[in-house]
Amino acid sequence: MKRPLTPLDFVRRAIKLHPERAAIVHQGLRLTYRQWGERIWRLAHALRGAGIRPGDHVAVLSPNTHQGLLSYSAVPWTGAVLVPLNTRLSAPEYRFQLEFADVKLLLCDVTLLDRAQEVARELGIPVWAMGEGVTGQDFETRLHEASAEPLPFPLDIDEDSPITINFTSGTTSNPKGVMLTHRNAYMDGIGVMLYLGLNMDSVYLHTLPNFHVNGWGGVWAVQGMGAANVMLPAVRAGDIYEAIETQGVTHMCAAPTVLSMLTDPAFARTVSTVTGQPVLVATAGSPPHARIIADMDALGFTVLQVYGLSETSPLITVAELSAQQRALPIAERAALIAKQGFEMVNAGEVEVMDLRMRPVPHDGETLGEIMVQSNHVMLGYYKNPQATQEAFAGGWFHTGDMACVHLDGRIEIRDRNKDVIISGGENISSVEVEGVLYRHPAVREAVVVAMPDPKWGEVPCAFVALHAGQQASAEELILFVRGHLAGFKVPKHFEYLDDLPKTASGKFQKFVLRNTLWEGKTRGVN
């Protein structure tokens, strides 16, 4: 009998085959997969008892807690669709997303009730409070009163129906709801298990916010191998290092900004797993810079770059290395890891196309847009057929990421379409300039954006944050960049900040910085 492709099968397998292995580690709490399964059934029964039916939308607003992770299994097990919400939004933003997504119930961590509870009630949406303290017992009481009777595997699930609706960041307009299907999530999970090398002895630290494209699939894939999930509600360098040392963490995922945090001399320390192997860190969100990769390597981490978008479930490429390349000195190896690499074996076809939708030559220079045909690609944008149609123009999903392809087929992103700086007719990759700035030992973070210029139309401007106790003047950084790049690529202005603005998943918010430079002006290029 044909079974639907769904990541719920990963969860079923873990509960069946690994009932006494550790499933959850959250501060002082430890749950086996048998206990974890009982909590899944209890929440699923509680949801059904509250009137949640197949096709209904249930939102979760939670940091990386065990209660939040529970929703990724229990909600879709009932046939309902989960709507993960970003934990760093404002009340008006939650109002928009809850109303737009037609949410029937909100599962909300007690630490975030002040931002979402009132707007949910105004919209007539019930709120179940999760977490520690008296208020959080509302959720635990509901679970305690519900049945722990196992629910059969939902064979009636349509694998091409949504399992989650994940909102994009909405940097220039209201965010779009990305409908990811059971099949999308299953295929992505297979890739996570394969390329991260997860097995039943793995210990996975949830450093990546799970609301961000379902933790890149980690909310299900880790369970698929019967591995342990170590929950981390707040991402701080000290807490990450402590979890690695006390819990024997072997794997984690993080944006490059978190890698910068870990390699900051104020916090950095050497790590090793209980097996003596390096801690594997998959990174994505923005291209990591070679210096950070080398710094992580020196601390006992192995960095694996992956690439994708919310609309591609998300992971579709990986910076694979051959045995010969793995033996290279770290400086040369890091330069390869810093590229996006090759399409994953489970990700369908990933191609870099020109404006006529022809593959670009593999010369490491010619730019095109990354496009995808894949089982990973979303069903569409919720209640937005026009945006869906535009995204799939010509039968390919258009990522908006500009890249070149090297002679060996390795893809390298040069910029987002909107982040390319066009100065006097010359295209400047902000990522390339940032990569040079990261080589300077005083630079902790760097973002380069376009700023208006009366002569050239626009020129590069660099926003930098320095390591604690370090100094580097604009003149010094200009000379440093000029030593590596053509003069027209050198930033014409530097702004120094203590920290650069980021999304909750660790991506730099370039639009925020760019807007400060273009206020009252209109960019003349696209």
CATH number at residue 366: 2.30.38.10
Q: Which helix (H) or strand (E) element contains residue 329? A: none
More confident residue, 415 or 280: 280
Residue 175: helix, strand or coil by DSSP? Answer: coil
Residue after which a domain boundary falls, among 181, 205, 238: 181
Residue 220 forms part of a structural domain: no
pLDDT at residue 123, rounded to an integer: 98
Q: Within a 13 Å sphere around the CA of 390, how many CA atoms are in the beta-carbon half?
A: 6
Domain co-membership, 18 together with 160: yes
Q: Predicted confidence band at 525 (pLDDT cuts at 50, 70, 90)?
A: very low
Domain co-membership, 166 together with 293: no
- Whether 159 and 181 have beta carbons less than 8 Å apart is answered as yes
Q: Predicted confidence band at 277 (pLDDT cuts at 50, 70, 90)?
A: confident
Neighbours of 466 (CB within 10 A): 18
More confident residue, 419 or 241: 241
Identify the CATH number of the domain in which residue 488 sits: 3.30.300.30
Residue 484 pLDDT greater than 90, yes or no: no
- What is the distance of C-alpha 350 from the center of its chain? 19
Residue 244: helix, strand or coil by DSSP? Answer: helix
CA distance 102 to 280: 39
Domain co-membership, 155 together with 57: yes
**Ordered alpha helix ranges (H), 248-361:** 256-263, 290-298, 323-326, 330-337
Neighbours of 390 (CB within 10 A): 11
pLDDT at residue 486, rounded to an integer: 80
Residue 365 pLDDT greater than 60, yes or no: yes
Residue 477 pLDDT greater than 60, yes or no: yes
Domain co-membership, 432 together with 384: no
CA distance 8 to 74: 9
Q: What is the pLDDT of residues 308-317, one digit of tens each?
A: 999 999 999 9
Domain co-membership, 405 together with 430: no
Q: What is the dihedral of CA 220, 226, 232, 238, to 10 degrees?
A: -130
CA geometry: angle 72, 74, 78, nearest 5 deg: 120
Residue 394: helix, strand or coil by DSSP? Answer: helix
Q: How far is CA 121 from CA 95, 99, 165, 279, in A?
A: 10, 11, 21, 44
- Whether 302 and 272 have beta carbons less than 8 Å apart is answered as no
Residue 275 forms part of a structural domain: no
Residue 211 forms part of a structural domain: no
Amino acid identity for residue 169 in this structure: S
Provide the residue range defining the domain that includes 433.
420-518
Neighbours of 147 (CB within 10 A): 14
Q: In terms of C-beta density within 10 A (0-12 exposed, 13-18 middle, 19 or more buried), how is residue 520 classed?
A: exposed
Domain co-membership, 410 together with 436: no
Residue after which a domain boundary falls, among 394, 415, 436: 415
If you ran DSSP here, which 8-state letter would residue 150 be given?
Answer: P
What's the mean pLDDT in 238-246? 95
Residue 50 pLDDT greater than 80, yes or no: yes
What are the tokens at 249? 């963490």
First to last CA, the chain: 52
What are the tokens at 45? 């029964």
Identify the CATH number of the domain in which residue 153 sits: 3.40.50.980
Q: Indicate the number of domains in the chain.
A: 3
Domain co-membership, 363 together with 456: no
Residue after which a domain boundary falls, among 121, 148, 181: 181
Neighbours of 245 (CB within 10 A): 13
pLDDT at residue 427, rounded to an integer: 73
Domain co-membership, 75 together with 129: yes
- Whether 106 and 122 have beta carbons less than 8 Å apart is answered as no
If you ran DSSP here, which 8-state letter would residue 502 be given?
Answer: B
**Ordered alpha helix ranges (H), 322-460:** 323-326, 330-337, 385-391, 430-437
pLDDT at residue 113, rounded to an integer: 96
Residue 216 forms part of a structural domain: no
pLDDT at residue 423, rounded to an integer: 83
Q: What is the pLDDT of residues 315-325, one digit of tens each?
A: 999 999 999 99
pLDDT at residue 290, rounded to an integer: 84
Residue 249 forms part of a structural domain: no
Residue 268 forms part of a structural domain: no
Residue 405 forms part of a structural domain: yes
Q: Hey, which residues does 426 pair with through a beta bridge?
A: 423
Domain co-membership, 309 together with 445: no
CA distance 54 to 156: 10
Domain co-membership, 6 together with 113: yes
pTM reported for the whole predicted model: 0.86
CA distance 264 to 320: 26
pLDDT at residue 519, rounded to an integer: 83
What's the mean pLDDT in 68-83? 98
